[in-house]
Structure 1
C-alpha cells in the first residue's frame, strides 16, 4: 500500500509539473492576453511598427506634458517613453488662468508615422485652432521639433504616399484630403483640399448620431484603406472601412465592426505577418480603454474580430501589468541628472514652474500656492496619474505644517465630478476633510480635527463591471486606516472627456504663499 501511495504522489507531482510547464510555454493556454489590452484611459490610439518594435500615441487633451508616446515589443506590454510636447501652447485656457480652461479640449486624436528615418506625430487643437506636426529622429530620447499652422484639421490622419508627398485626411461626415507643403509647414496653397468621401457615414445607415470621424489611412498591397468611427442613433460606436485603388478615390465602404462599442483606430501587423486592429472602448469612469481585434484578409478586405466580435482573449503574451509602464509609484527622490518628473506624471493644464519643486526639500514634492481659487477644478499645478482597472488605490503622506489660512491640500480623484481627501486650514485650525462633487457641486461630506502636522491619505477605485465607486481614507500613523466621508459615484463626463485621475494638489482660497510637502505617492492594482 505504501508503494502505491508513493507512486501516486510522484504521479501527481508529474502532472502538476506538466501543467505548470504548459501554462508557461504554450500559447493560448492560460497565458493569453486579455482585452482591454490597457485597462486605463488611453484613447484615440495611433500605432506603428518599426522593425520588431511597436510605438503608439494617444490623447491626453488638457494635460501637460502631452501627446504621450508608448513602446511595446509584443502589442500587450506598453510603457511611456516620451511626450511630443511639454506644453502645447500658451494662453489662458491652457494655463488654467483668468477663469478659462481647456477641459475636454487641448489636443485631440494624434497620427503617428515613420517616414524616411524620421518619426512624425501630428495632432490638432480646438483650443488654439491649430494643427501641429512634431518630428524627431529618435522617438524615445530625441528632441521633438514642431511646426504648426491654421486651421485645426479635425481628427486627421497624416499620410506619406509612395511619391513622397505628404497629405492629411480629415473631417467629420464629409472626409477631406489636403496635400501639405513639402516642409509640412501647412496646407499647400496651390492645391485646394478636395472631398474624398462626401458622406462616409452612409455605409452605417441613415440614422446617424455621430458622423464618421477619427480618420486613419493605410496603404496595404497597393490599396488605400480608410478607417473611421461612426455612431448610429440608438446603436453603438461602429468601425467603418473604405478602400480605393487610388488615394483620391473613388472609395467603396462597409461596416467593419459593430460590437461592444469597440471602435476608432486602425491596422497593425506583426513581423511575421499577423494582423490586428487597434481600437478603443468606452469603459465608464476609468475612461476609454484600448482593445486589440484579430484581422484576417478576405477578397482584399480586412475582416475584424472573431465571428465579427471583439474577443475577450487574444493569442498574444499575457500582460505583466500596467505598473510601472503606464502608472508608477514615486518616492520623490531625485538624483542629479534625472528628470524632475517620471513620464507617468502629467500636470492638469500647463504648470506654473515657479510653484513646485523637488529641490527645496529633497525627497519631497513641494506644491506652493501662488494665487487664490475657489475649487479644485480651477486650481493650477495639480499633478496627476491615470487610474487603472479593474481596481486600484493610491496613498500619500503629506506634511501640512506650512499651510496658510484657507488652504486646501490632499489627494484627489480628478474629473468634473471629483472627490478628494485632504486637509483644510481654517482660522488657526486644521481639519481632515472629504469633499464629494458627484452631483456637480462640491460638498463637504466629512470634517475631522487634525492635531498633528503629517497625515496619510488614501483613495481607492472599483471599476469592476463599471461599478465606478471610490472610497477615501486617512491614517494618523500609516498603519490603521479610517474611512472618511461618503463613497464617490464616479462618472465619465463629456465636459472633461477623460477617465478619472489621481491628483496631488494644494490651492489657496484666502491668501497665497503656503505650501505642503508630499513624501511619496504609492499606487496599487488593488483597493
Structure 2
C-alpha cells in the first residue's frame, strides 16, 4: 500500500538536502543510489510512521547507534552475500548499504544451497572505534567479523567458539575490562533449548575463555527462551530475550546486578489485543535525545519476518515496550506512532527493489542461494543489462530448489508486481538444454522459463515442492509457444502471497499462464523472487540470458 501523497511531496522537498555523518571515516560514497519504494513506505511524511517499518524478511535483527548513525544487521542463513548492513538516520527509514560477509567462506559446504543453515541471529556492537558482528552457525560455532568502516570491507570470520547448537550470541564489554557473551541453544543440534548461558571472552573478543554458566532456565514459564541481547544500564545487567515461540511468544527481560545472576524476570511486550503475533526477537537502542526504542520482528508466513519499531518507557527499572493500556507493565505493539526524536528530520529512504542493471553494478538487494561464483554472471562497466550465463545444474535431475545460481531478493510488500525483460541466446542449438526465467522460491515454489524445443521458442510454468532440505519434486503445469527468444515475464503478488504468472511478447499485452501459486516461506525465511539461467550438464557449455531490467511496481487491481 502506497502512503499518502503528502509523504511523496516531503521526499521531493528534502531529497536534495545533505546528510551529516558522525565520523569522517564513515562514508557511503560507494553505496548505490536508492529509489523510493513504490509499494511500501512506513514514513507517513507527517512526523509519524506505520508498523511494520520494513515489510520485508529481516529475521533476528540487531541495531546499533554510533553518533547520528544507526546500523542494523539480520540473519542471512545460507544466502550470499551474508550479514546485510542497513543504515538509517531515524530508525524508520532504512537502506541496504553493505554486506559484512561476502561469502560464507568459513566452510566449503556453502557452495551448494544449505537451506535453513548458516548465519543465524547476529549481534552488532561498537567498541573502541571498531564495529563487531557476532553470529552463531548452529552446526559449527560462534563467529565474529569486525571493521572500522561499516560501509567498507569487513574482516575475515574468526571462530570464537567451536560448538554445535550454540546460537544467538550477544557480547558485552564491561567497565571493569571483562568481556562477556550470552548465547542460547538450538535443540535440533544441542538437544537442549530454553536455557541462556553466559561465557567469558578474552579482551579482544576473539575467543571464549570460560566453560560457561547457565543464568536462566525457561522450561517452567518461558519455554523456547532464545535470541538474547546483553546490555548494561544503571548498574544492572539486562538480558532481552523472546520466549514462547516465533509465532506465539512474548518479549521477556531479565535483570541482575551480577552478570551471573540471579536474574529477576518480567514480560514487557506481548501481542495483547493486536494482530501483531509474536512479537519476537529484536534490539534495544537509545537515540541521541535519550529516547528508548525496540526494533523486533513479526513472523508473517510467506513474507517472512517483518520489522516493527516500538517505543520503550523505563518504569521502575524495567523497559515497557509499545503501549501499556492497562498499566500492568506489559505493553502491546503500536500500529502507528510518532517517529523517534533524533534531533532533526531526514529524507525518506527504503531498501532497494527495482534494478535497471546499469553500469555493471547489481543492486544491494540481491543475494544468491549459495556462495556465489564469478562463473555465473557477466556484468561489465557501461553495460545496461545483466547477463546470466547458462551454468550447468549439478545433475540433470537437480530441482531448482538445489540450484546455487539463483539471484533472489526479498518480498518487499504485502502486494506488488515484479516484471523483467529477458533474451535467451543458446549458442549451440541443443533443444531444451538451457532455460532462463523468473521464480518465486519457498518450500513450495514456482518458476516461469523461456526455452526452446524442436518447434521453436516456448514459455513453461513449473511447480515445485520441497521434500527435505536437499530434494524437491517438480512438475510442468502449463506451456505456450512464442515467436522469438525475447519475452517479458511478470508475477503479480496479491494479498497473502497469492502469485499469478504471466508473459508478454510486446511488453504491453500480458497473458496469464497456469493457476495462481500460493507463496510459502522457506526454512526460517520468507519467500523470495528472482532470476536464473541454467543448463543441462549433459550438453555442451554455452548460452546465456540477458535481463534488461527487473522492476517492482504497485499491483494493479483488476
- SS of structure 1 residue aligned to 2:121: coil
Cα distance, 1:293 vs structure 2: 1.3
Q: Distance in 2 between matches of 1:178 and 1:432?
A: 56
Which region of structure 1 is more displaced relative to structure 2, 163-172 or 295-304? Answer: 163-172
Q: In structure 1, what is the equivalent of residue 552 of structure 2?
A: 523
Is 1:257 the equivalent of 2:269? yes
Provide the C-alpha distance between the structure 2 equivalents of 1:436 and 1:105, rounded to a whole number of angstroms: 24
How many angstroms does 1:166 deviate by? 2.3
Of 175-184 and 479-488, the range deviating more from structure 2: 175-184
Q: CA separation in 2, counterparts of 1:321 and 1:478? A: 31
CA 1:378–1:438: 2 relative to 1, 3 Å: closer
1:187 lines up with 2:203 in the alignment: no
Pick from 459, 480, 485: which aligns with 2:491? 459
Displacement, 1:438? Answer: 5.9
**Which of 318, 330, 334 in structure 2 is aligned with 1:311?**
334
Aligned residue for 2:76?
60
Q: How does 1:355-394 map to 2 (within 5 A)?
A: 355-359=376-380, 362-372=383-393, 373=395, 374-394=398-418
- Map residues 94-493 of structure 1 onto 2, 5 A cutoff: 94-96=110-112, 101-127=113-139, 129-149=140-160, 150-151=162-163, 153-172=166-185, 173-188=194-209, 191-197=210-216, 199-204=217-222, 208=223, 211-231=224-244, 236-259=248-271, 260-307=277-324, 308-316=331-339, 325-334=350-359, 340-359=361-380, 362-372=383-393, 373=395, 374-402=398-426, 404-405=430-431, 406-427=433-454, 429-437=456-464, 441-462=473-494, 464=495, 467-493=496-522
Distance 1:508 1:319, change over 3 A: farther
Alpha-carbon distance between aligned partners in 1 of 2:71 and 2:519, rounded to the nearest angstrom: 31
For normalisation by structure 1, the TM-score amounts to 0.85
Q: Which SS does the other structure have where 1:74 is aligned?
A: coil
Would you identify which runs of 4 or more consecutive aligned residues in structure 1 move more than 4 Å? 27-31, 317-322
User: Contact 1:327 / 1:386 at 8 angstroms: preserved in 2?
Assistant: no
Contact 2:101 2:154 in 1 (8 A): no
* CA distances 1:144-193 after superposition (whole Å, capped 9, x unpaired): 343124125311112211123322101232211111123333211xx321
Aligned residues of 1:438 and 1:489 also touching (Cα < 8 A): no
2:50 alignment partner, one of 31, 34, 39: 34
CA distance in 2, matches of 1:299, 1:31: 29
> Which runs of 5 or more structure 2 residues have no equivalent in the other structure?
1-5, 15-42, 186-193, 272-276, 325-330, 468-472
Q: Give the C-alpha shift of residue 436 in structure 1.
A: 2.4
Name 2:327's counterpart in structure 1: none
In structure 2, how many angstroms separate the alpha carbons of the residues matched to 1:390 and 1:408? 29
Equivalent pairs, count: 481
Uncovered stretches (5+) of structure 1, i.e. residues with no partner: 1-16
Write the deviation string for residues 452-475 of structure 1: whole angstroms up to 9, x where unpaired.
01101111212x4xx220111111
Q: 1:327 to 1:232 in 2, by over 3 A?
A: closer
Residue 213 of structure 1, CA deviation = 0.6
TM-score w.r.t. length of structure 2: 0.81
Q: 8 Å contact 1:166–1:180 — kept in the other structure?
A: yes
Deviation, 1:363, is 2.2
2: CA distance, partners of 1:358 / 1:90: 27
Larger Rg: 1
- Going from structure 1 to structure 2, the CA distance change for 1:145 and 1:508 (only over 3 Å counts) comes to closer
Please report how far the alpha carbon of residue 437 of structure 1 lies from its aligned counterpart in structure 2 after TM superposition. 2.8
C-alpha contact 1:225 1:243 (8 A) present in aligned 2? yes
Deviation at 1:418, TM superposition (A): 1.1
CA distance in 2, matches of 1:410, 1:154: 37
CA contact (8 A) 2:61 2:296 kept: yes
Deviation by residue 1:51-100 (Cα, 9 ceiling, x = unmatched): 1211111111111110011110111000111111111126564111xxxx
